[in-house]
Amino acid sequence: MNDRRADALAPLPAQTAPPSAPITVQKSGPRGPGGGENRTVIARGAAAREGVGAAAGEGVGAAAGEGVGAAAAVGGRAGSDVPDALTLGKRIRALRLARRMTVGALGAAIGRAASQVSVIENGKRELKLAELQRLATALGTDLDALLGSASLSRRDELEIALARAQQGPLFASLRLGALPIRRSLSDDAIETILALHDELERLHRERAATPEEARRANTELRAQQRARDNHYAELEQIAADLLAAIGHRGGPLSQRAASELAAHLGFSIHYVRDLPVTTRSITDHRHHRIYLPIHQPGTDPRSALLQALGAHVLGQPEPSDYGDLLRQRVETNYLAGALLVPESSAVPYLAKAKAARELSVEDLRDHFAVSYETAAHRFTNLATKHLGIPVHFIKVHSSGAISKAYENDGAKFPVDPLGSVEGQRVCRWWSARQVFSVEDRLSPYHQYTDKPNGTYWCTSHIESASNGDFSVSVGTRFAEAKWFRGRDTSNRLESRCPDPSCCRDPEPALAATWAGVAWPSARLNSSLLAAMPDGSTTGVDKVAVVEFLERHAPVD
């Protein structure tokens, strides 16, 4: 699992890239402009001159104390197998020592000071092709031997790796002094430092990348949903076939009918008290059992069962990344919704309501005996495709943060710089937040909101879950409000978001009054920090799941 995650993170910037990249050595193949000859090009990066690396203190290698500062070159980028300056330096030193030459002698042979040879051997200076050739000659070898793939000693490899680590951003962020790589530093010590460095880096990347990846996947999925008006014909068809198979005649799907569906698919249902907390159901394919929690406050007991059946029907494998997980979740939820509120009976019901100008999410909820959220979801699935009404849907925590959102009516949700909606705070003047200040939580709340891109009508309702209160809102543009019950509301507010003066900045006078004397203590959002606790995609505790199955499996 961790390996797969590492793959998923691969596009992130490579750890070895120093802030400035002085040298790129490229060996062009037969396709080079030289007409087939093997040509070596040593390009000089413009940044080479400014390469005074803050992290690099002392010199790397035996000749410590020299060559302070210049960031070492990292070549061999873009998949090239040509050695970088550090590797090159190590090779030159190995060859020099093999020939029992001093740095002074080698320097004399190439017309350089001894200190310059050390700088080269430490990988701290770019080399021109002519210099490389002179070095090769002085060492009694040829260019290919210097640039070729002759392997380095383990010690040299370790020193190179440590030098690179010290030049990287992670080491710099730790604000540690540079560690001179002297002979007295044992191989074991270097290996330990490198292992710690790599693990720290892995953790950093995981932390930084997971929410990022999740938000990206959400944004992508929302675009796909918008493109199809949030209607999945193939899933509607699967739901219709399943319902036909158990002889369902339309209307609400009873708990008994849901059980019949499970039996039809060959599963027995087992309600248990000890379902692992990271799961909503567990399917045992060996014994054809579905385990469900006995008590799950605030949720429709049919939903978890239908979602488990949906995952089986759709043949979903374990998701390979967050995008996969999200797609699968959307599909199983969609299928569960399509079973609870079948298209074939919901569409005539809604069409009739539209004709009477009495469209209402509450009515849909009551007619099919589902949660408000399921009714709102189903409404967005069917409204554009079958009623010709573009809509938006938004689920918002009482803190104002968006947890789910969909639109094809041009509603502009708050977005972060990457275009993600989840976790962003909705304008306080929107219906989705105003509903929290309404005392009567049973009656539907309706509101017109004048937004920068036009006026919208919305209906909002609060649902309580184990992780807090959420408002679920469905809205549409002013022109379409005429089809809905509640269009005659007198609630009307203006939202100028994303203009910060709308609701994000306090009034200047108030801000001045309280400047420096208000000390709010923040509540950390634990779910954000613990996005994927074990680096897995789903966060499911696999140990707990296996133990659970062992505990409950019938004796074979």
**Residues at the interface with Zn ion (CB under 5 A):** 427, 495, 497, 502-503
> What gap in Å lies between CA 382 and CA 229, rounded to an integer?
8
**Beta strand extents in 222-344 (DSSP E only):** 268-272, 282-284, 289-293
Nearest CB to Zn ion, comparing residues 341 and 427: 427
Residue 231, class by beta-carbon neighbours within 10 Å (0-12 exposed, 13-18 middle, 19+ buried)? middle
CB of 375 within 8 A of CB of 387?
Answer: no
Nearest CB to Zn ion, comparing residues 25 and 426: 426
> What gap in Å lies between CA 408 and CA 328, rounded to an integer?
22
Structure tokens that stand for 108 in this block: 């004399």
Task: Of 348, 353, 373, 355, give the one whose Cα is nearest residue 363.
Answer: 353
Q: Report, in Å, the least distance between residue 493 CB and Zn ion.
A: 9
> What gap in Å lies between CA 424 and CA 403, rounded to an integer?
8
Residue nearest to Zn ion (CB): 427
Nearest CB to Zn ion, comparing residues 237 and 501: 501
CB of 443 within 8 A of CB of 410?
Answer: no
Structure tokens that stand for 307 in this block: 């979602």
Q: Report, in Å, the least distance between residue 163 CB and Zn ion.
A: 52
Nearest CB to Zn ion, comparing residues 313 and 497: 497
Nearest CB to Zn ion, comparing residues 241 and 499: 499
- Sign of torsion, CA 150 151 156 159? positive
- Bond from prior residue into 498 cis (ω within 30 degrees of 0): yes
Q: Report, in Å, the least distance between residue 491 CB and Zn ion.
A: 16
Nearest CB to Zn ion, comparing residues 502 and 549: 502
Structure tokens that stand for 476 in this block: 């549409």
Amino acid at 176: L
Nearest CB to Zn ion, comparing residues 7 and 494: 494
Structure tokens that stand for 162 in this block: 């440590």
Nearest CB to Zn ion, comparing residues 353 and 503: 503
Q: Report, in Å, the least distance between residue 428 CB and Zn ion.
A: 6
Nearest CB to Zn ion, comparing residues 359 and 503: 503
Whole-Å CA distances, 150 to 89, 99, 289: 13, 17, 59
Nearest CB to Zn ion, comparing residues 144 and 494: 494
Q: Report, in Å, the least distance between residue 383 CB and Zn ion.
A: 26
CB of 27 within 8 A of CB of 80?
Answer: yes
Nearest CB to Zn ion, comparing residues 103 and 426: 426
Residues in Cβ contact with 314 at an 8 Å cutoff, skipping those fewer than 6 apart: 238, 328, 331, 332, 335
DSSP for residue 60: B
Q: Report, in Å, the least distance between residue 474 CB and Zn ion.
A: 20
Q: Report, in Å, the least distance between residue 226 CB and Zn ion.
A: 23
Q: Report, in Å, the least distance between residue 401 CB and Zn ion.
A: 14
> What gap in Å lies between CA 70 and CA 124, rounded to an integer?
6
DSSP for residue 444: -
Nearest CB to Zn ion, comparing residues 62 and 502: 502
* CA count, 13 A, side-chain hemisphere, 481: 18
> What gap in Å lies between CA 134 and CA 476, rounded to an integer?
75
> What gap in Å lies between CA 512 and CA 517, rounded to an integer?
10
Q: Would you tell me how many other CB atoms lie within 10 Å of the CB of residue 53?
A: 20
Q: Report, in Å, the least distance between residue 429 CB and Zn ion.
A: 5
Task: Of 89, 76, 84, give the one whose Cα is nearest residue 116.
Answer: 89
Q: Would you tell me how many other CB atoms lie within 10 Å of the CB of residue 346?
A: 24
Q: Report, in Å, the least distance between residue 442 CB and Zn ion.
A: 27
Residues in a beta bridge with 425: 401
Q: Report, in Å, the least distance between residue 430 CB and Zn ion.
A: 7
Q: Report, in Å, the least distance between residue 424 CB and Zn ion.
A: 12
